[in-house]
Amino acid sequence: MANPLRDTLLGQLDIAWALTRYHLDGLTTEECLRRPARVGLHVEQGADGQWRAQWPEHEGYDLGPASIAWLTWHLGFWWSMVENHSFGDASLRREDVRWPGTADAVRAWVTLRHDTWRASIEKLTDEDLLGSERTRWPLEGKPFGDIVAWANLELMKNAAELGYARFVLAVSPTP
């Protein structure tokens, strides 16, 4: 059976994923933990060894640029949330999502998110995508295809942010 909507959304996902992989390949933990400016969103390791991400109170430019650790946490956060709320028990909360702690662990985490999400989308029909039964986060009442399209856009945005941050760090003096 033909599913042109699903196939288009999967094609967009594949393009966004290719760019994301490009920027994740070769990423080091040192790059992740370097702060590009004196202020900006970052992750902090607690006494329990877990890495927690800072959460902004606003989205103004005066927040400063986020670290790559925070950018990769954010990518894993929203993907974990939308996956859990669309295909799981909808129990995951922002506070439950931790940064993995190393670049290798980030690549594994984000790759698992991609692979699980893609496999779930592959099983859907266009009819499923036009319905709203799975639409619980970050929006409600929209066709699920809109959520998949949002996820594709969010992934491409995150890929662009990662790439820009890596370019900036590559030419910045090491502290």
In this structure, is residue 163 part of a structural domain? yes
Radius of gyration of the chain (CA): 17
**pLDDT (average), residues 151-166:** 98
**Three-state secondary structure call for residue 53:** strand
State how far the Cα of 12 lies from the Cα of 89, in Å rounded to an integer: 26
Q: How many domains does the chain have?
A: 1
**pLDDT (average), residues 109-136:** 98
State how far the Cα of 168 lies from the Cα of 46, in Å rounded to an integer: 28
- Say what the pLDDT of residue 173 is: 87
In this predicted structure, the answer to whether residue 174 has a pLDDT above a threshold of 90 is no
Which CATH number belongs to the domain containing residue 140 in this structure? 1.20.120.450
State how far the Cα of 140 lies from the Cα of 124, in Å rounded to an integer: 18
State how far the Cα of 166 lies from the Cα of 170, in Å rounded to an integer: 6
Domain encompassing residue 87: 4-54+64-171
In this structure, is residue 14 part of a structural domain? yes
In this structure, is residue 10 part of a structural domain? yes
The answer to whether the CB of 5 falls within 8 A of the CB of 145 is yes
In this structure, is residue 59 part of a structural domain? no
**Three-state secondary structure call for residue 99:** strand
In this predicted structure, the answer to whether residue 8 has a pLDDT above a threshold of 90 is yes
- Which are the contacts of 149, defined by CB distance < 8 A and separation ≥ 6? 9, 12
- Which are the contacts of 165, defined by CB distance < 8 A and separation ≥ 6? 36, 65, 66, 67, 68, 71
In this predicted structure, the answer to whether residue 1 has a pLDDT above a threshold of 90 is no
Element holding 52 (H helix, E strand): strand 51-53
Supply 165's token pair.
């941050």
The per-residue pLDDT for range 32-63, each reduced to its tens digit, is 999 999 999 999 999 999 999 999 999 999 99
